[in-house]
Chain A
Amino acid sequence: MKILVTAKRVPDPESTIKVNSSGDGIEEAGIKWVVNPFDEIAIEEALRVKEAQGDAEVVVVSIGPSEAQEQLRTGLAMGADRAILVTGENLDTSAVAKILVKIVEKESPDIVITGKQAIDDDSNEVGQMTAQLLGWPQATFISELKIADDKSSAECTREVDGGMETISVPLPALITADLRLNEPRYASLPGIMKARKKPLEQIEAASLGVDTTPKIVIKSMAPPPAREAGRIVESVDELVTALQSEAKVL
């Protein structure tokens, strides 16, 4: 069994994000970069499937700048067997999905697991687009994964409004991981030592023959308005009036 997982390079959620001087992106200097937390959950799930199956291979893929090697090493240190880095600039979600399709076609995995979304742009699109382009079944926002004994299908529990939904998808399938699927492990010391020797293949996006012209252009970015100091009101009436006329929420 082969499992392909994604690892997007994103700013650490603990970092302080500032808009850059041209106003169309973020200031990248001084930012700490990490594996997208939802992708980390995807990697963990792939490793658990591998541990349960015994003879599975986990391939971790990143699409982005060459520095994303660091995130792939994290995936390898956690226990993935090998890594593929597709380098390219200015790739939007549709470009990333098209590139991922090429990698899937080349690798023919039984399952592709991605995070449900990346925490930088919160698009929540790559998994779904990739499944669509491949013509594969998809199970999104899953919180539990069970591979059938004959490995022909997977039972996925999805978090939907107001409850849980359990669906069965034939393999190969694409799955996107939600927060409660698992708690990712820490890379261990032996894992980190071994990661350096594991294969990391680099491919240029341009060599894959897909049109990566962005369909989305970021026109401008602005930080959320600074929070103003609160105010203590004297009475309930005053509060209601303020909520109606000033905050305009009632």
Chain B
Amino acid sequence: MKAIRKKTNAAPGLAPPDPRALEAIGRALEAHYADLVQAPLPQKLVELLARLEAGDSASEVQGNGDANG
């Protein structure tokens, strides 16, 4: 038993997962992530990027952020 557990790397105390369940979890994870990735960036981050791209150094941008917030 020990050897099998080691070989399959199964978590102790939990039944070895059904391969179909694992596959479904993999797809669900991808869907979860894809949904997050396709969400538009909030204004706050868009503005930060614009300031960084405009050539401000990160410390200046950080300083401005602190002063405004």
Chain B associates with chain A: no
Binding site for B on A (CB under 8 A): none
Binding site for A on B (CB under 8 A): none
